């Protein structure tokens, strides 16, 4: 399949068959052998470097839970690749849902889009930076944690030391205020 050499394929297949029989030692060898491959695979598909290790762990859990679906007469590589791809897709879908759920619609269409565009390649534009600086500190922190640092609401709330609901409210107000400030600038 391109990412498992013939030797590695044969070794992994043997370990997997032994693992299905309950051989923990073979299983540990298998998982250790797979880790660098999985890191490369996941790293090429998950945009946030900070999430790669989490997704790799999810792939390992999926391998563990789906191990009964592997058939010894079939190659191991395509099976592993499908399990890894499904885990990555699950992550990307949940990330997408999280982003959509956590942003109010108008903010998602407006401010968040601008923030995402502005922050990725070249940092914040002066207009956006000055608008952000004019926000009350709580709202600014919420917007920065979620939109610029890309944290989930739960993580951002932990970082800010508030409840997730409170952080969402702050972020919502922040988006609305930012929209107002940016619209004001455009009118000028």
Partner 1 sequence: MSEPTERLVQSLASDLAAVRPLPPLRRMLAGIGGLGLVALGFAFGLRGASLQPFQVASSHPAYLCIWIGLLAVAVGGLVAALAGAVPGRRVAVRTGVALMTAGALLAIAVGGLLAFTGAEAGGAAAAPRAAGICASLALALGIPAAVVGLGFVLRGWPARPLACLLAAAMGAGALGACVTHMTCVQVDALHWMLGHVLGPLFGAALLALPFQVLARSGRRARAA
Q: Please give the DSSP secondary-structure letter assigned to residue 173.
A: H
Please tell me whether residue 32 binds partner 1 under the rule CB under 8 A: yes
CB proximity list for 1: less than 8 A, separation 6 or greater: 75, 77, 78, 81
Residues of this chain, 33-62, that bind partner 1 according to CB under 8 A: 35, 53, 56-57, 60-62
Closest to partner 1 by CB, 37 vs 131, is 37
Q: Distance (Å, rounded) from C-alpha 41 to C-alpha 88?
A: 9
Q: Distance (Å, rounded) from C-alpha 70 to C-alpha 30?
A: 14
Closest to partner 1 by CB, 32 vs 134, is 32
Length of the chain: 188
Contact letters (x/-) for partner 1, 86-125, by CB under 8 A?
x--x------------------------------------
Q: Using CB under 8 A, list all residues that contact partner 1.
A: 19-25, 27-28, 31-32, 35, 53, 56-57, 60-62, 64-75, 78-83, 86, 89
């Amino acid at each position: 399949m391109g990412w498992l050499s013939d030797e590695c394929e044969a070794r992994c297949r043997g370990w997997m068959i032994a693992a299905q029989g309950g051989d923990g030692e073979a299983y540990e060898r298998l998982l250790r052998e797979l880790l660098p491959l999985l890191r490369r695979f996941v790293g090429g598909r998950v945009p946030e470097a900070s999430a790669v290790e989490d997704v790799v762990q999810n792939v390992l859990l999926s391998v563990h839970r789906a191990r009964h679906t592997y058939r010894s007469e079939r190659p191991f590589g395509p099976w592993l690749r499908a399990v890894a791809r499904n885990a990555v897709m699950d992550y990307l879908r949940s990330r997408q849902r999280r982003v959509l759920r956590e942003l109010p619609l108008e903010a998602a269409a407006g401010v968040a889009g601008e923030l995402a565009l502005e922050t990725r390649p070249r940092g914040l534009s002066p207009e956006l930076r000055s608008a952000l600086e004019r926000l009350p500190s709580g709202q600014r922190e919420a917007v920065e944690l979620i939109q610029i640092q890309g944290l989930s609401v739960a993580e951002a709330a932990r970082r800010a030391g508030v409840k997730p609901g409170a952080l969402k409210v702050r972020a919502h107000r922040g988006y609305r205020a930012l929209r107002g400030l940016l619209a004001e600038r455009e009118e000028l």
